[in-house]
Structure 1
Amino acid sequence: MKQSTIQSRTYDKLREKIIKMELKPGQKIIISELMETLGVGRTPLRESLKQLQRQNLIYTIPQSGTFISKIDMVQAMQSRFVRECIEKEIMVELSAKYTEKNINDLKKILNKQKSEFEQKDISKYHDLDSLFHETCYIIVNKGKIWSWINTYNTHLDRFRWLHLESETFDYNLILKEHEALLEAVIEKNIDEVSYLTINHIRFMLKEQGHILNAHPDYFTEESIKMVNSSLE
């Protein structure tokens, strides 16, 4: 396997561990432990950590070590705003361009998501949530835009994971919203598509105070101040 491929896969695995809280905000990184866990050498691991540091997902304190960054709700809210603006247009375009095969592919994803919910596999359920949205972008030839959003979306994704664990997984909200959105797409109901897309992405506005209160150590001080101020 080429070194660049090893590094890329190492980065993807590390990013997933950060999003799914296997590496928790504020946790110190132990290089030797990660090398053993991921089954990689020091060079691809260090290059991956540099990439994560450029995205403000890890930070280094001299004489102390390297740590997982806490969740920055300012960045998360900005990511949500960008995604909301773009995705509304993506879903409207999908309504005009979809084929029967496209709809069948999206329904297969939702069927798998339902199955993972029944199996109580929150990790696979989360991944299928992302796959549903990515597939919509790909159908309208905007896959690179999804890749760009995904690169800078990690603070939002970590909040989404906490929200999924504590709020939405129990009553399968994400799948229900996906199903309603897809139905509106099939019916070419543009107003409903726009409304449902925005409502789906704005979920984080509804429970951010509750999530921060449940996990205060996972968030930056600025995040806590911002959310508390918005709730006053």
Structure 2
Amino acid sequence: MIEPKLRESSRDYAYRVIREMIVNMELVPGSKVSEIELANLLGISRTPVREALIDLAKNGAVTIQPQKGTFISLIDPNLVEEARFLRKTLEKEVVALLCEADYQKQLHLLDECVSLQEFYLNQGNYEKFLELDNEFHQLFFQLTNKNQIYTLMKGLNIHFDRARTFIFKNKPSIKTLEEHKVLLKAIHEQDKHTACQCIEQHLYQYELDKDSFEKEFSHYFNKK
């Protein structure tokens, strides 16, 4: 179980863990969730769990139905596309910034992250690989001092993260790692044009895979 961070409120802790469980498909689309069970699992009271679920409902990640209960929302292709579009738009800008000389001294953090990704991928530890994949993209914003933008993006991004995680777990591929390496090479070479092309192509990969997965796992997808 994920441990609470130092001085993290129970509400924030509940939100972070439940979000992670949704993204990792531990809480599968369409399933009913119990405040009591989640509270017992996290070792906290029901109130912060309820508050976290309300926050997740605002992002469309869960659906609260009066008199019926709280359910994990189905994967909505429209929301996934909105999140992908937002990420593509913002990440192209921060990747272009990383290509500037002012940020070159910090790129070793991205190098280390990619090296760890390769290690865990070779070990078959896909959960850790995906965790580092998220960290890699978050570093774009941290290294360019755009942390608040990343935080704002994260609410909608849950839909893209969940779909991407679901596809990767069912169809593991080294392509993500190779794309990270090519992107990082372009950033080191301060080649903004290539770096922006790389990030756009990288985030487009979901589009190439989604149709077959929507058909094979139709019970997880919202068809409206």
Quick check: TM above 0.5?
yes
Measured against aligned partners, the alpha-carbon deviations of 1:6-51 in whole angstroms (never above 9, x if no partner) come to 1101110000000100001100012222122222111111111111
How much does 1:59 deviate? Answer: 1.3
The one-letter amino acid of 2:175's match is L
Q: Tell me, in whole angstroms, the C-alpha distance in 2 between the residues paired with 1:97 and 1:8.
A: 36
Alpha carbons of structure 1 residues 3 and 133: separation in structure 2 relative to 1, 3 Å: closer
C-alpha displacement of 1:197: 0.9
Matched, 1:204 2:206: yes
Report the alpha carbon displacement of residue 95 of structure 1 after superposing the two structures with TM. 0.3
User: Would the aligned equivalents of 1:97 and 1:140 in 2 still touch at CA under 8 Å?
Assistant: no
- 2:111 corresponds, among 107, 122, 125, to 107
2:135 equivalent in structure 1 = 131
Aligned partner (choices 186, 189, 194) of residue 187 of structure 1: 189
Q: Is the 8 A contact 2:114 2:180 kept in 1?
A: yes
What's the CA shift for 1:150? 1.2
Write the distance in 2 (CA, Å) between the matches of 1:79 and 1:122.
Answer: 22
Is 1:87 matched up with 2:91? yes
Structure 1 CA distance for aligned equivalents of residues 222 and 44 of structure 2: 31
Change (3 A) 1:69 1:101: same
Q: Matches of 1:197 and 1:100 in 2, distance apart? A: 18
Structure 1 counterpart SS, 2:107? helix
Question: Within 2, Cα distance between the matches of 1:166 and 1:97?
Answer: 39
Q: CA RMSD in A?
A: 1.8
Counterpart in the other structure of 1:221: 223
CA deviations on 1:181-224 (whole Å, 9 max, x unpaired) are 000111122221111110001111101111111211111122xx
Task: Name the count of aligned residue pairs.
Answer: 220
Question: What TM-score do the two structures reach when normalised by structure 2?
Answer: 0.92
Kindly provide the amino acid, as one letter, of the partner of residue 216 in structure 1.
Answer: S
Q: How many Å apart are 1:63 and its aligned residue?
A: 2.7
Distance in 2 between the 1:62 and 1:209 partners?
33
Question: Equivalents in 2 of 1:49, 1:219: separation in Å?
Answer: 20
* Cα distance change, pair 109–95 in 1 and its aligned pair in 2 (3 A): same
Structure 2 residue matching 1:152: 3-state secondary structure: helix
Matched with 2:180 is: 178
Instruction: Say if 2:95 and 2:196, in contact at 8 Å, map to a contact too.
Output: yes
The answer to whether 1:74 aligns with 2:75 is no
Question: Where does residue 27 of structure 1 map in the other structure?
Answer: 31
CA distance in 2, matches of 1:83, 1:61: 30
The CA deviation string for residues 93-143 of structure 1, in whole angstroms up to 9 with x for no partner, is 110145454121111111111111122221111111111111111111112
**1:56 maps to 2:66:** no
Cα distance between partner residues in 1 of 2:7 and 2:105: 37
The whole-number CA distance in structure 2 between the counterparts of 1:36 and 1:217 is 29
What residue ranges of structure 2 are gaps of 5+ in the alignment?
Answer: none
Q: Distance in 1 between matches of 2:67 and 2:204?
A: 41
- What secondary structure sits across from 1:202 in the alignment? helix
